[in-house]
Amino acid sequence: MIDALSWLFGHIGLGFYHFFYAVTHPGLWLDWSNKESLLRFVYYGGSTEFFFVLFDIFLVLTVAGVIFRRFMWGMVRVLEGFANFVGRAAAWAGLIMVGQQIIIIFLQSIFRLGEITMSPFGIGFAHSVTWYGEGLKFWNAIVVGLCVSYAFVQGSHVRVDLIYSGVSHRAKKVIDMFGSLFFMIPFAVLAWMYSWYFLWRHLITPKVSASDKLELMLRKSKIVKWNVERTGFSPDGFDAYFLFKILILSFIALVFLHGIAFFYRSLLEFIEGEEAQDKYLDRDTLGAGEEAYEGTH
């Protein structure tokens, strides 16, 4: 127990040191023309050190928010506003997906074309119909990956309620805080640490893994080179599957950030009581007289 506590508080203390060291020495991990800097970025992006840097930032912001409640409300509004902005922008991918599917059906089934050429802003862009057909999955992945926290803010996510609706306001907030701290955020942290290396294994060679130590990473930097995954399921199919890996990380980052936002909102609503319920919450509306249908779109 003593060793575990020593390890925990030691890493919390080192988190502040690593944060300030990284900020004051950006060239050590952002100068990707230096292959050692690239491998440092890869290593620390999914490391324990990075987790404790984020944990320390969370602790500082939480303490500041408890002392200055308006500051915590400000963080909630910024994080929820960011989730709404990203989700509302990404939702347009659904319209693009539908339009692209209609184009594919008409040009392939009616006009029997095997290639589609588009020229936005005068720039020619030609690919096979198969490429566009497989590319539909990318637009769908954008909606799924980038609208997750937006759906949570809007209250359109799926809930399984066994006891929640029958308990008091403050009991609900305790349940919400517990869910944020012990389900949403831990899931996001674990998923990030595995997905981070999953992405980089499809961007560079030799392959990297979560078990690699920094010394091994730096040795690999002598032979590392870019090897971006561009292999489709078919010879002329969609060939940018590395974008799906980036979307996985974006999805996880949004869940992590909204887990924090939801914890802060639940804490503030617990402290301030029922009058603070849904305070500053920016939800979409269909207009006056349409309240019965809201939440179903």
Q: Is the pLDDT of residue 297 over 60?
A: no
**Per-residue pLDDT tens digits for 118-158:** 666 666 677 777 788 888 999 999 999 999 999 999 988 77
Count the Cβ atoms, other than its own, within 10 Å of residue 128: 18
Q: Tell me the longest C-alpha to C-alpha distance in the chain.
A: 73
**CA distance linking residue 152 with residue 288, whole number of Å:** 23
Sign of the four-CA dihedral 179, 185, 190, 192: positive
164-175 burial, b at 16+ Cβ within 10 Å, e below that, comes to: eeeeeeeebbee
Cβ-proximal residues to 59 (8 Å cutoff; 6+ apart), any chain:
12
Highest averaged pLDDT of the listed ranges 78-87, 108-117, 223-232:
78-87
pLDDT band of 287, cuts 50, 70, 90: low
Highest averaged pLDDT of the listed ranges 81-90, 102-111, 221-230, 232-241:
81-90
pTM of the model: 0.90
Instruction: Tell me the mean pLDDT in the region 267-283.
Output: 92
